[in-house]
A and B are shown apart, each in its own frame.
Chain A
Amino acid sequence: MSDDISLSESERSAGIVRCDACPVLCRIRPGRAGACDRYANENGALVRVDPLVLLAKPDLARVAFVEGSDAWHGELGKGEGAFVTGIGATTTYPDYKPAPFIVSSKQDGVDMVTVVTEGIFSYCGVKVKIDTDRYLGPEQAAVRVKGEAVGHVTTAEYGSQMLSLGGVHHLTGGSKKEGVVTCDTLLALCNREAVELTIDGGSTVVVQADKPPVVNGALEERMRVGCGSAAIGMFAPQWKDHVDEVIVVDDHITGVLSEHQGGVFLDMKPAGIRVRGRRSTPGRYFQVAEPGLGWGGTNVSDPLEIIEKIDPKQAWPGLKLLMVSTTGEHAAWFTLDEQLKPRPAEMPAPVRHVVERIAENCEPALCTVLFMAGAGGSLRAGVTENPVRLTRSVRDTLTKVTLGGVPAYIWPGGGITLMVDVARMPEKSFGYVPTPALVAPIEFTLRADDYAALGGYASRAVTLEDVIARHKVRIE
């Protein structure tokens, strides 16, 4: 396969277009389709014969329709309430010609223009939030797919681990294979497929947008309710009459009830049980164990391992000790014998009840995938003759940016750097080109007069009715 996919001058003047949808890279003459019959040259433009996706209304819940179904739902075609997405709009790369659809549809009585295109994003990646306290790997560690580095571990957020995957350096800055694997990974994640990620010096995690993570083969069902200290604060009053001590085991902060402000407030007697690690403030301990896949995101499988010593001056025989993890997933009940050794015992019902309540308060663990990309110069040129005005218009919130109908968060500062939750977008919104880069639908919506003012191709505007009449349409 040749990397040079540019067309000769004579080919261009003959109206031939190069399809880069698959490795065959067909050259297609006007009015004809490529080898797959899925992409065609329509008056010099590469069009996908796949249907265009319409949202019945951009901000309302979408109704799923069977592709190819003749059953039309809703009131589409009357020019109100429908929103043309960029999905299936086809790209205009490099964007020296106007975006495929500039749709003038009325919204709330105002002439709105939606410039619909599929953008090719060379600068793009995903930020993945994985709801788990389990140890995924050290910060900055490479995240790999099929042995290729596709991103890295960034940081931890409250109850979650954060990965940054893709980005221009992995897509085009490394080896060809790294770029291809990265592109495949991003495409799969953005289209809400499951991908297995391996982290250097850490875990293997299966990530799928809007689904629980699977860490080293174990499905993560719940987020922790809070750190060990927070759990103490939340549940101390409910434990008070049933326990002498509670240790909430957590990889971040392990909480010890009788030393903790929550216990002191309840006049609990010091129990003399010292946990390992570094004391932060009273009753709050860092690093009681190594990170791992055991209790509360530590490597501990026997919770007594984190007890450094039991002080005979403070502890007493018969002392009742609860040890529990921050998800309620692990819990054990002990009483101290005559030698002040913890002995396992059957957990009393009221204590069991509070342990179950911890579990109940843990939210379902999910992976969330935010697509993040920059809308570059040429993409903007497809919208207006003066691209910087589009950027300013987006800044001034006169222009609304959506991807597949989903409003995008625009990062402050220069350029149009956007983020969107792929789980909210219609199915199969993303594609790719062999560059490698992702293709994503992007729509700019603004008032018709504002559009004209920023140098838009207003004369190219078509009505929604025309779009529906002239194109295969899939409704969501």
Chain B
Amino acid sequence: MSAVAARFADGRLHLQHGPIDLIVEAFGAAEEVERAYAQAIDRFGDILPALVGELIVLRRPIGEAYPLLQGPVARRMAEAVWPHRTRYITPMAAVAGAVADEMLQALVRGRRLDKAYVNDGGDIAIHVTPGQSLRAGIFAQALDGVALLTHERPVRGIATSGWGGRSFSLGVADSVTVLAATSASADAAATMIANEVNADHPAIERRPARALDPDSDLHELPVTVAVGDLPPGTVDAALDRGLAAARRLRLCGLIDSAALSLRGHWRIESGGTPLALSEAG
């Protein structure tokens, strides 16, 4: 199928091409918003073909050498995953976030908007001007948390990873939500932290990634396919491992905050952005 653009009844823009599914919303004067949407639509058609053209390199693990890539989205991916190269990672760990960042840039370039976001299946790039704010909800089981994003905070990207999503995870986290400077860096970091929320327990079923998806960039690494009952001690230990990884990344300046969940238990690593757990959880 070729790229498709559609408008929701409430005016939001929906862009879809193959596995890329974006919800785009801009706030501001109607005319500026429409021009912004037109810019986004114009940029979108080339995103997937350009990525596919470099897919072979993008699926390779990052090694000693910085990957040579041409496309702007591909370069965003490489930049986002490069700091994590001491562990197994490929640029694909940041694909959704990088697409969101690229599309946000196309959306806002030259436009006067109050705020805007591009949501790529939960990996969100945001634009917010002084005095404006965006609220992002974190749904794990219900509305479990809310992040308030303002101009003053150094957060322009949100990403969530977990074993139940569309991408594979080496860990058992139900969700790891990361706030970072870009959506691509949030995406890469969320992937890495979610991999660390892990335990060795018979209730956790794993399969080699390529046994599930012959094209997976994770090759023969064991990815989580089912998580049975885990004793409380195991849940705590897994979350604490993830929390340590999140702290390490925050202290390296790679992320602003992270919220980790497993079986209704939470850990928060916060750099100061108001990130409150709601009681409703």
Chains A and B bind each other: yes
Tell me whether A288 is interfacial, beta carbon within 8 Å: no
Once the chains bind, are A36 and B2 in contact (CB under 8 Å)?
no
Interface size class for chain A? 20 to 34
Check A32/B213 contact, CB under 8 A, given A1-B53, A21-B18, A184-B2.
yes
Interface residues of A in 151-166 (CB under 8 A from B): none
Binary interface encoding of chain A residues 375-403 relative to chain B, with 1 for a CB under 8 A from any of its CBs, else 0: 00000000000000000000000000000
Tell me whether A24 is interfacial, beta carbon within 8 Å: yes
Binary interface encoding of chain A residues 28-43 relative to chain B, with 1 for a CB under 8 A from any of its CBs, else 0: 1100101111000000
Binary interface encoding of chain A residues 4-32 relative to chain B, with 1 for a CB under 8 A from any of its CBs, else 0: 00000001000010000111111111001
Once the chains bind, are A24 and B2 in contact (CB under 8 Å)?
no
Once the chains bind, are A22 and B48 in contact (CB under 8 Å)?
yes
Tell me whether B272 is interfacial, beta carbon within 8 Å: no
Tell me whether B143 is interfacial, beta carbon within 8 Å: no
Interface residues of A in 421-443 (CB under 8 A from B): 431-432
* Other-chain residue from B2, B53, B166, B211 in contact with A35 (beta carbon distance below 8 A): B166
Nearest CB on B from A189, distance (A): 13
- Cα(A196)–Cα(B18), bound, Å: 25
* Other-chain residue from A11, A21, A24 in contact with B55 (beta carbon distance below 8 A): A24
Tell me whether B52 is interfacial, beta carbon within 8 Å: yes
Which of B211, B212, B213 gathers the greatest number of chain A CB atoms within 10 Å? Answer: B213
Once the chains bind, are B18 and A23 in contact (CB under 8 Å)?
yes
Once the chains bind, are A23 and B52 in contact (CB under 8 Å)?
yes
- Cα(A35)–Cα(B212), bound, Å: 12
Tell me whether A187 is interfacial, beta carbon within 8 Å: yes
Closest to A34 in B: B19
Once the chains bind, are B18 and A22 in contact (CB under 8 Å)?
yes
Question: Chain B residues with Cβ under 8 A from A29's Cβ?
Answer: 211-214
- Cα(A184)–Cα(B4), bound, Å: 12
Check A27/B18 contact, CB under 8 A, given A22-B1, A22-B48, A35-B166.
no
- Cα(A53)–Cα(B166), bound, Å: 27
- Cα(A32)–Cα(B212), bound, Å: 7
Tell me whether B215 is interfacial, beta carbon within 8 Å: yes
Binary interface encoding of chain B residues 1-30 relative to chain A, with 1 for a CB under 8 A from any of its CBs, else 0: 110000000000000011101000000000
Check A23/B212 contact, CB under 8 A, given A184-B2, A432-B2.
no
Closest to B52 in A: A23
Tell me whether B49 is interfacial, beta carbon within 8 Å: yes
Closest to B166 in A: A37
Nearest CB on A from B1, distance (A): 6
- Cα(A21)–Cα(B1), bound, Å: 6
Closest to B214 in A: A27
Once the chains bind, are B18 and A1 in contact (CB under 8 Å)?
no
Once the chains bind, are B48 and A24 in contact (CB under 8 Å)?
yes
Question: Chain A residues with Cβ under 8 A from B49's Cβ?
Answer: 1, 23
Binary interface encoding of chain A residues 295-324 relative to chain B, with 1 for a CB under 8 A from any of its CBs, else 0: 000000000000000000000000000000
Which of A25, A36, A432 gathers the greatest number of chain B CB atoms within 10 Å? Answer: A36
Nearest CB on B from A366, distance (A): 25
Binary interface encoding of chain A residues 242-282 relative to chain B, with 1 for a CB under 8 A from any of its CBs, else 0: 00000000000000000000000000000000000000000
Question: Chain A residues with Cβ under 8 A from B19's Cβ?
Answer: 22, 24, 34-37
Once the chains bind, are A24 and B213 in contact (CB under 8 Å)?
no
Binary interface encoding of chain B residues 27-59 relative to chain A, with 1 for a CB under 8 A from any of its CBs, else 0: 000000000000000000000110011010000
Interface residues of B in 205-252 (CB under 8 A from A): 211-215
Check A36/B215 contact, CB under 8 A, given A24-B48, A432-B2.
no
Once the chains bind, are B18 and A24 in contact (CB under 8 Å)?
yes
Nearest CB on B from A254, distance (A): 45
Nearest CB on A from B163, distance (A): 15
Nearest CB on A from B123, distance (A): 14
Nearest CB on B from A229, distance (A): 47
Nearest CB on B from A203, distance (A): 26
Question: Chain B residues with Cβ under 8 A from A24's Cβ?
Answer: 18-19, 48, 52, 55
Nearest CB on B from A34, distance (A): 7
Nearest CB on A from B19, distance (A): 4
Once the chains bind, are B214 and A16 in contact (CB under 8 Å)?
yes
Once the chains bind, are B214 and A431 in contact (CB under 8 Å)?
no
- Cα(A356)–Cα(B88), bound, Å: 78
- Cα(A218)–Cα(B1), bound, Å: 32
Question: Chain A residues with Cβ under 8 A from B55's Cβ?
Answer: 1, 24
Question: Chain A residues with Cβ under 8 A from B214's Cβ?
Answer: 11, 16, 27, 29
Closest to B4 in A: A428
Closest to A2 in B: B56
Nearest CB on B from A436, distance (A): 11
Nearest CB on B from A171, distance (A): 15
Which of A11, A21, A25, A35 gathers the greatest number of chain B CB atoms within 10 Å? Answer: A35
Nearest CB on A from B92, distance (A): 10
- Cα(A21)–Cα(B2), bound, Å: 9
- Cα(A11)–Cα(B55), bound, Å: 20
Interface residues of A in 217-245 (CB under 8 A from B): none
- Cα(A184)–Cα(B2), bound, Å: 8
Closest to A22 in B: B18
Question: Chain B residues with Cβ under 8 A from A22's Cβ?
Answer: 1, 17-19, 48
- Cα(A382)–Cα(B77), bound, Å: 43
- Cα(A61)–Cα(B94), bound, Å: 49
Nearest CB on A from B276, distance (A): 32
Once the chains bind, are A36 and B212 in contact (CB under 8 Å)?
no
Question: Chain A residues with Cβ under 8 A from B21's Cβ?
Answer: 36
Interface residues of B in 161-180 (CB under 8 A from A): 166
Nearest CB on B from A266, distance (A): 59
* Other-chain residue from B48, B166, B211, B215 in contact with A23 (beta carbon distance below 8 A): B48
Binary interface encoding of chain A residues 146-187 relative to chain B, with 1 for a CB under 8 A from any of its CBs, else 0: 000000000000000000000000000000000000001001
What would 10 more interface pairs be, CB under 8 Å, given A16-B214, A24-B52, A29-B211?
A1-B52, A1-B53, A1-B55, A11-B214, A24-B19, A27-B215, A29-B212, A32-B213, A184-B2, A432-B2
Q: Could you list some 20 contacts between A and B, CB below 8 A?
A: A1-B49, A1-B53, A16-B214, A21-B1, A22-B17, A22-B18, A23-B18, A23-B49, A24-B52, A26-B213, A27-B213, A28-B213, A32-B213, A35-B18, A35-B19, A36-B18, A36-B19, A37-B19, A184-B2, A432-B2
List A residues at the B interface (Cβ < 8 Å).
Answer: 1, 11, 16, 21-29, 32, 34-37, 184, 187, 431-432
The 3 A-B residue pairs with the shortest CB-CB distance, nearest first, are A22-B18, A35-B19, A36-B19
List B residues at the A interface (Cβ < 8 Å).
Answer: 1-2, 17-19, 21, 48-49, 52-53, 55, 166, 211-215
